[in-house]
Amino acid sequence: MNKLSKYSPIRGLGGMGFIKVASAIPSLRVADCDYNAQKVKDLIVKADGEGVEIVCFPELSITSYSCADLFFQKQLLDNAENALGKLMSETADLAIISLVGMPVRMGNQLFNCAVVFHRGEILAVVPKINLPNNDEFYEKRWFASGAAVSTENITLAGQETFLSANYLFKTDDFSFAVEICEDLWSPVPPSSKLAVNGAEIIFNLSASNELVGKHAYRRQLVEQQSARCHCGYVYASAGYGESTTDLVFSGNAFIAENGKLLAESERFSFEPQLVITEIDVERLRAERLRNSNFSNERDYADCFEVNFSTGKKAAQKQTLTRQINPYPFIPSLEKRDETYNEISSIQVAGLAKRWQHTLIDKLIIGVSGGLDSTLALLICAKTADKLGYDRKRILGVTMPGFGTTDRTYNNARELMKSLGISTLDINIKEACLQHFKDIGHDPEIHDVTYENVQARERTQILMDLANKQNGLVVGTGDLSEMALGWSTYNGDHMSMYAVNSGIPKTLVRHLVNWISEQMDQNSAKILQDILDTPVSPELLPGDEKGEIKQKTEDIIGPYELHDFYLYYFVRFGFTPEKIQFLAKTAFGEKYSCEEIDKWLKLFLKRFFQQQFKRSCTPDGPKIGSVNLSPRGDWRMPSDAIFGEW
């Protein structure tokens, strides 16, 4: 890769990998370069004051996009250069990087360009490659394509600089590149090549007119390109003030990250707009690191690298403006029904295949009246219905022990009755007392032995019933319990097919609630009471009122925090410091810093120490991008040291 210049590095927001960017839509006048440059300057100053590191303006923002044959006028081109020179001079003391659009002459050709400048100096000029030539736009009438330009020396606004479509702008902390409007709509956008060569954020200076339905398609293009390239994508399109002789421009601004839209402008606003958010380049790097095909098309010889620094003062504090979703496993409201239907369908399909393949007669499942066994039982019922089997081929077993409360026991019995499955009730107290006697354990000592004897007794019953009834034991444990190792080895840790193994605890709760909405009133009432019951293994006797005393989240911490930690640790490989920062941003009003730190340390400790349980877990269907199956998604040595984490 060719290096054109090198300066000192810069640092992103708080050292956490966040780059604050802005898409700016200024007000403008057609062919009034001084006016337009002044409005651009106003937004640059505002953006810099808000800690923005890079701001992007629309295509041909110095002249306006809709000048048409006025682009042939030397006066307009001279005015544009003079306005650019004045703009750079008046913003030379600002740390922000600016990208503005204007026509640029080189020899006897005119190019539609993005000018990238910083502290009064032009870093490089990027020409548009794909020029539209259709019923709406006739750019080939005025401009030449930058496709044939490798890198050329030009003079612009009194400065010697370079012009090429193959620039990769790079600092020690992040890198970016530029494409212009129609480039994104082409079969192979220039940003695809620039991304595989290292660009983490793509900026698009655009002037895309409005048509009915075009807005949604344009948004999809931005989202899809950011997903395909594992990049941030900042899009700024011309707005109010452009000529409306034949077309109307609405002022579209989008900022996307890896397929997700982070921020957008108000369309058809008559006022200038500055859309600001942060792009997490560490997250993008994690995605690229896991995609072994990402760099297949890399060709360093095609790109010219520009290394530079914004020179921001270290003491300048930036704040995070983007929201961090505290529940990364929970879909948005508009996608709720579609997502939950898909999840349950995956579970049903996995269990149905196992049921048919093994030629077994019954599904055997332990039903405790808790969330996990409830979801697993509901999936068993859905699977029987899908296969056209009698629900009586599902055997639900209640196994009350020393800690079982009337509430959970009755809910389990009533739920099984409402679903119309076969039932069996086996009290495990006598068997456990005999086992205590056999191994010499005092039943008054309520330690881990006391608890695990009960868990293993239940598993033994289920496994032996499966042998007796030609059945298959359906596991109920979830992804969060796997992450924390919150299970008894060879107890509830083991089954013959684990339908919940890909679903974290927070999602289990939402799925049960969603299914309850589709059931009869009596069943829904039972499910709602199950949802209101504290999460507990019920392995210790209840309190004096016979209510649950052993509450899981009092012991190991809130599952919503652990699921948050799990997502960012496994999905992106973030450091504890980054996860801590995100958690405090997401949960700052709900949990104290001390609580977040405490439970994060516990999560990391248990995640490492309990890997040996995950190394021999039963089969189960993968549901989302985070999974802990030792056969595919998570392969980790059981004796890895967690101290460094």
C-alpha torsion sign, points 153, 159, 163, 167 = positive
Per-residue three-class SS string for 581-599:
HHHHHHHCCCCCHHHHHHH
Cα(153)–Cα(124) distance, rounded to whole angstroms?
10
User: Virtual CA dihedral for 486, 405, 502, 329, nearest 10 degrees?
Assistant: -100
Residue 211: Cβ within 10 Å count: 12
| 337-353 pLDDT, tens digit each | 999 999 999 999 999 99
**pLDDT band for position 539 (50/70/90)?**
confident
pLDDT beyond 50 at 315: no
Quote the longest CA-to-CA distance of the chain: 101
Report the b/e string of 605-629 with b at 16+ CB within 10 A: ebbbebbebbeebbebbebbebbbb
Cα(348)–Cα(471) distance, rounded to whole angstroms?
17
Ramachandran category for residue 598: left, alpha or beta (phi over 0 → left; psi -120 to 50 → alpha)? alpha
Per-residue three-class SS string for 337-370:
HHHHHHHHHHHHHHHHHHHHHHCCCEEEEECCCC
Q: Is 152 a catalytic residue?
A: no
How many residues can be counted in the chain?
A: 645
Catalytic residue among 20, 39, 41, 128: 128
| 219-252 pLDDT, tens digit each | 999 999 999 999 999 999 999 999 888 889 989 9
Q: Which position has the higher pLDDT, 279 or 311? A: 279
Q: Is 140 a catalytic residue?
A: no
What domains can you pick out in the chain, each with its CATH number? 2-307 (3.60.110.10), 333-556 (3.40.50.620)
Q: Which of 13-17, 477-481, 523-527 has the lowest mean pLDDT?
A: 13-17
pLDDT beyond 80 at 17: yes
- So what's the pLDDT on residue 301? 55
Cα(497)–Cα(507) distance, rounded to whole angstroms?
19
Q: Is 46 a catalytic residue?
A: no
Radius of gyration of the chain (CA): 31
Catalytic residue among 39, 56, 59, 67: 59
Contacts of 233 (CB under 8 A, 6+ apart): 191, 201, 202, 204, 222, 225, 226, 254, 255, 256, 257
| 90-130 pLDDT, tens digit each | 999 999 999 999 999 999 999 999 999 999 999 999 999 99
Phi, psi of 87 (to 5 degrees): -60, -45
Q: How far is CA 224 from CA 26, 74, 431, in A?
A: 26, 40, 59
Q: What is the DSSP letter of 138?
A: B
- So what's the pLDDT on residue 135? 65
Catalytic residue among 56, 181, 229, 231: 181
Mean of pLDDT over the chain = 92
Cα(191)–Cα(207) distance, rounded to whole angstroms?
17
- So what's the pLDDT on residue 11? 38
**pLDDT band for position 304 (50/70/90)?**
confident
Token digits for 56? 């992007």
pLDDT beyond 90 at 13: no
- So what's the pLDDT on residue 300? 60
